[in-house]
Protein backbone atom coordinates (compact mmCIF):
# COMPACT_ATOMS: atom_id res chain seq x y z
CA UNK A 1 0.00 0.00 0.00
CA UNK A 2 1.19 3.51 -0.86
CA UNK A 3 0.05 6.59 1.03
CA UNK A 4 0.45 10.37 1.20
CA UNK A 5 -0.25 12.71 4.11
CA UNK A 6 -1.38 16.13 2.91
CA UNK A 7 -2.88 19.35 4.20
CA UNK A 8 -2.40 21.71 7.14
CA UNK A 9 -3.70 22.33 9.72
CA UNK A 10 -6.37 19.68 9.05
CA UNK A 11 -4.36 16.85 7.42
CA UNK A 12 -5.61 13.84 5.52
CA UNK A 13 -3.92 10.53 4.71
CA UNK A 14 -4.69 9.24 1.20
CA UNK A 15 -4.10 5.49 0.77
CA UNK A 16 -3.76 3.82 -2.62
CA UNK A 17 -4.56 0.11 -2.54
CA UNK A 18 -3.73 -2.54 -5.09
CA UNK A 19 -6.43 -5.00 -6.11
CA UNK A 20 -7.16 -7.22 -3.10
CA UNK A 21 -5.37 -4.98 -0.56
CA UNK A 22 -7.32 -3.75 2.45
CA UNK A 23 -7.10 -1.10 5.15
CA UNK A 24 -8.71 -0.97 8.60
CA UNK A 25 -10.14 2.12 10.27
CA UNK A 26 -12.25 3.18 13.20
CA UNK A 27 -15.98 3.45 12.60
CA UNK A 28 -16.85 6.62 10.68
CA UNK A 29 -13.23 7.53 9.81
CA UNK A 30 -13.56 7.25 6.02
CA UNK A 31 -13.71 10.65 4.30
CA UNK A 32 -13.79 9.75 0.60
CA UNK A 33 -12.89 6.78 -1.59
CA UNK A 34 -13.09 5.27 -5.05
CA UNK A 35 -16.30 3.27 -5.71
CA UNK A 36 -14.57 -0.11 -6.08
CA UNK A 37 -13.74 -0.38 -2.37
CA UNK A 38 -15.92 -2.81 -0.43
CA UNK A 39 -16.64 -2.19 3.25
CA UNK A 40 -17.03 -4.86 5.93
CA UNK A 41 -17.87 -3.96 9.55
CA UNK A 42 -16.82 -6.30 12.34
CA UNK A 43 -16.21 -6.33 16.08
CA UNK A 44 -13.70 -9.19 16.30
CA UNK A 45 -15.20 -10.67 19.46
CA UNK A 46 -16.48 -9.28 22.75
CA UNK A 47 -13.02 -8.91 24.30
CA UNK A 48 -11.64 -6.80 21.46
CA UNK A 49 -14.84 -4.76 21.23
CA UNK A 50 -14.78 -3.76 24.90
CA UNK A 51 -11.04 -3.15 24.71
CA UNK A 52 -11.56 -0.68 21.87
CA UNK A 53 -14.37 1.00 23.78
CA UNK A 54 -12.17 1.51 26.88
CA UNK A 55 -9.36 2.89 24.71
CA UNK A 56 -11.59 5.61 23.27
CA UNK A 57 -12.56 4.00 19.96
CA UNK A 58 -15.77 2.60 18.54
CA UNK A 59 -16.55 -1.02 19.42
CA UNK A 60 -16.61 -1.79 15.69
CA UNK A 61 -14.01 -1.41 12.95
CA UNK A 62 -14.42 -1.10 9.20
CA UNK A 63 -12.31 -2.97 6.66
CA UNK A 64 -12.10 -1.55 3.13
CA UNK A 65 -10.82 -3.83 0.35
CA UNK A 66 -10.07 -2.91 -3.27
CA UNK A 67 -11.99 -5.08 -5.76
CA UNK A 68 -11.49 -5.32 -9.53
CA UNK A 69 -8.46 -3.03 -9.63
CA UNK A 70 -6.54 -0.45 -7.67
CA UNK A 71 -8.46 1.87 -5.37
CA UNK A 72 -8.09 4.96 -3.22
CA UNK A 73 -9.40 5.87 0.23
CA UNK A 74 -8.82 8.95 2.41
CA UNK A 75 -8.99 9.48 6.17
CA UNK A 76 -9.12 13.08 7.39
CA UNK A 77 -8.18 14.39 10.82
CA UNK A 78 -10.99 15.58 13.10
CA UNK A 79 -8.91 18.25 14.86
CA UNK A 80 -6.08 20.62 13.81
CA UNK A 81 -2.76 18.79 14.09
CA UNK A 82 -0.73 16.04 12.45
CA UNK A 83 -1.35 12.58 11.09
CA UNK A 84 1.65 10.39 11.86
CA UNK A 85 2.50 7.13 10.09
CA UNK A 86 4.03 4.65 12.55
CA UNK A 87 5.73 1.38 11.60
CA UNK A 88 4.55 -1.44 13.85
CA UNK A 89 6.46 -4.73 14.15
CA UNK A 90 6.17 -7.64 16.59
CA UNK A 91 9.23 -6.31 18.44
CA UNK A 92 8.22 -2.62 18.40
CA UNK A 93 4.67 -2.13 19.70
CA UNK A 94 3.65 1.39 20.69
CA UNK A 95 1.29 2.98 23.20
CA UNK A 96 -0.75 6.04 22.25
CA UNK A 97 -3.38 8.29 23.75
CA UNK A 98 -7.06 7.39 23.74
CA UNK A 99 -8.68 8.10 20.38
CA UNK A 100 -5.37 8.47 18.51
CA UNK A 101 -5.91 5.53 16.14
CA UNK A 102 -7.21 6.63 12.73
CA UNK A 103 -6.47 3.73 10.37
CA UNK A 104 -3.91 1.00 9.65
CA UNK A 105 -2.89 -1.68 7.23
CA UNK A 106 -4.20 -5.14 7.93
CA UNK A 107 -2.01 -6.93 10.46
CA UNK A 108 -1.98 -4.17 13.06
CA UNK A 109 -3.83 -5.12 16.25
CA UNK A 110 -5.25 -2.56 18.66
CA UNK A 111 -5.90 -3.35 22.32
CA UNK A 112 -6.32 -1.47 25.58
CA UNK A 113 -3.29 -0.83 27.81
CA UNK A 114 -3.95 -0.03 31.48
CA UNK A 115 -1.15 1.66 33.40
CA UNK A 116 -0.25 -0.65 36.29
CA UNK A 117 0.72 1.83 39.01
CA UNK A 118 -2.19 2.72 41.29
CA UNK A 119 -1.18 6.39 41.35
CA UNK A 120 -1.30 6.47 37.56
CA UNK A 121 -4.73 4.91 37.55
CA UNK A 122 -6.17 7.31 40.12
CA UNK A 123 -4.72 10.56 38.83
CA UNK A 124 -3.44 9.89 35.33
CA UNK A 125 -6.53 11.13 33.54
CA UNK A 126 -5.88 10.75 29.83
CA UNK A 127 -2.86 8.54 30.49
CA UNK A 128 -4.56 5.89 32.60
CA UNK A 129 -6.02 4.03 29.63
CA UNK A 130 -3.96 4.02 26.45
CA UNK A 131 -4.16 2.24 23.12
CA UNK A 132 -1.62 -0.47 22.40
CA UNK A 133 -0.77 -1.10 18.75
CA UNK A 134 1.02 -4.34 17.99
CA UNK A 135 1.41 -6.82 15.14
CA UNK A 136 2.93 -5.93 11.78
CA UNK A 137 2.09 -3.00 9.50
CA UNK A 138 1.63 0.76 9.36
CA UNK A 139 -0.72 2.67 11.69
CA UNK A 140 -1.91 6.24 11.16
CA UNK A 141 -2.32 8.26 14.35
CA UNK A 142 -3.95 11.64 14.99
CA UNK A 143 -1.77 14.08 16.94
CA UNK A 144 -3.28 17.26 18.40
CA UNK A 145 -1.37 20.36 17.29
CA UNK A 146 2.27 20.00 16.24
CA UNK A 147 4.55 17.08 17.06
CA UNK A 148 7.77 16.94 19.07
CA UNK A 149 9.74 13.68 19.31
CA UNK A 150 12.38 12.64 21.84
CA UNK A 151 14.46 9.48 21.89
CA UNK A 152 15.25 8.74 25.52
CA UNK A 153 18.29 6.75 26.55
CA UNK A 154 17.96 4.06 29.22
CA UNK A 155 17.11 5.78 32.49
CA UNK A 156 16.68 9.21 30.87
CA UNK A 157 13.52 10.95 32.06
CA UNK A 158 11.13 13.62 30.85
CA UNK A 159 8.36 15.34 32.83
CA UNK A 160 5.25 16.08 30.76
CA UNK A 161 2.09 18.00 31.61
CA UNK A 162 -0.96 15.73 31.64
CA UNK A 163 -2.55 15.42 28.20
CA UNK A 164 0.55 16.31 26.17
CA UNK A 165 1.82 12.73 25.86
CA UNK A 166 0.62 11.46 22.47
CA UNK A 167 2.62 8.27 21.89
CA UNK A 168 5.53 6.28 23.26
CA UNK A 169 7.34 3.04 22.59
CA UNK A 170 6.18 0.16 24.78
CA UNK A 171 9.69 0.10 26.32
CA UNK A 172 9.10 3.49 27.95
CA UNK A 173 7.85 3.46 31.54
CA UNK A 174 5.23 5.96 32.68
CA UNK A 175 4.07 7.13 36.09
CA UNK A 176 2.31 10.09 37.64
CA UNK A 177 4.34 12.48 39.80
CA UNK A 178 2.75 14.94 42.24
CA UNK A 179 3.74 18.59 41.93
CA UNK A 180 6.03 19.44 44.85
CA UNK A 181 5.01 22.18 47.28
CA UNK A 182 1.49 23.13 48.33
CA UNK A 183 1.79 26.68 46.98
CA UNK A 184 3.07 25.40 43.63
CA UNK A 185 0.21 22.90 43.36
CA UNK A 186 -2.52 25.37 44.33
CA UNK A 187 -1.35 28.58 42.65
CA UNK A 188 1.03 27.38 39.94
CA UNK A 189 -1.69 26.83 37.36
CA UNK A 190 -0.11 23.58 36.17
CA UNK A 191 -2.40 21.17 38.00
CA UNK A 192 -1.56 18.73 40.78
CA UNK A 193 0.15 16.01 38.76
CA UNK A 194 2.56 15.58 35.86
CA UNK A 195 3.47 12.53 33.78
CA UNK A 196 6.99 11.15 34.24
CA UNK A 197 8.33 8.97 31.41
CA UNK A 198 11.55 6.98 31.64
CA UNK A 199 13.54 5.56 28.73
CA UNK A 200 14.68 3.75 26.78
CA UNK A 201 12.46 4.54 23.84
CA UNK A 202 10.75 7.13 21.70
CA UNK A 203 8.31 9.66 23.16
CA UNK A 204 6.02 11.81 21.01
CA UNK A 205 4.53 14.97 22.52
CA UNK A 206 1.63 16.99 21.12
CA UNK A 207 1.53 20.77 21.47
CA UNK A 208 -2.25 21.36 21.66
CA UNK A 209 -4.17 18.59 23.46
CA UNK A 210 -7.85 18.63 22.54
CA UNK A 211 -8.73 18.37 26.24
CA UNK A 212 -6.87 21.60 26.98
CA UNK A 213 -8.47 23.29 23.98
CA UNK A 214 -11.92 22.26 25.21
CA UNK A 215 -11.18 23.70 28.67
CA UNK A 216 -10.09 26.99 27.11
CA UNK A 217 -13.26 27.26 25.05
CA UNK A 218 -15.39 26.40 28.10
CA UNK A 219 -13.71 29.15 30.13
CA UNK A 220 -14.65 31.74 27.48
CA UNK A 221 -18.33 30.80 27.27
CA UNK A 222 -20.78 33.02 29.20
CA UNK A 223 -22.00 31.46 32.41
CA UNK A 224 -25.65 31.22 33.33
CA UNK A 225 -26.73 33.13 36.42
Can you give the residue ranges of every domain in the chain?
A: 2-218
| Cβ 135 vs Cβ 61: under 8 Å | no
pLDDT at 183: 46
The fold for domain 2-218 equals Double-stranded beta-helix (3.60.160)
**47-73 average pLDDT score:** 75
- Phi and psi at 51, nearest 5°, equal -60, -45
**How far is the C-alpha of 4 from the C-alpha of 118, rounded, in Å?**
41
| Lowest-confidence region among 11-25, 51-65, 120-134, 182-196 | 182-196
Instruction: For the chain, give the mean pLDDT.
Output: 84
Q: CB-based contacts of 224: which residues, under 8 Å, 6+ apart? A: none
Please indicate whether residue 175 or residue 143 has the higher confidence score (pLDDT). Answer: 143
With 80 as the cut, is the pLDDT of residue 131 above it? yes
In the predicted structure, residue 186 carries a pLDDT above the cut 50: no
Q: Which residues contact 33 (CB under 8 A, 6 or more apart)?
A: 64, 71, 72, 73, 74
Query: What's the rounded Cα separation, in Å, for the pair 17 and 72?
Result: 6
Question: At residue 141, does pLDDT exceed 90?
Answer: yes
Which pLDDT band holds residue 191 (cuts at 50, 70, 90)?
low
Amino acid sequence: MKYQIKGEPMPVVICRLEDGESVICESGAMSWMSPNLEMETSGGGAGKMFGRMFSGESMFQNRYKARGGAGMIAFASKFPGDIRAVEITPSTPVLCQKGAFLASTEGVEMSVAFQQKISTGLFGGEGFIMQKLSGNGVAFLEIDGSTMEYNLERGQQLLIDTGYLAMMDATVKMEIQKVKGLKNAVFGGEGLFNTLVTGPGRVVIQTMPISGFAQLIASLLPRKN
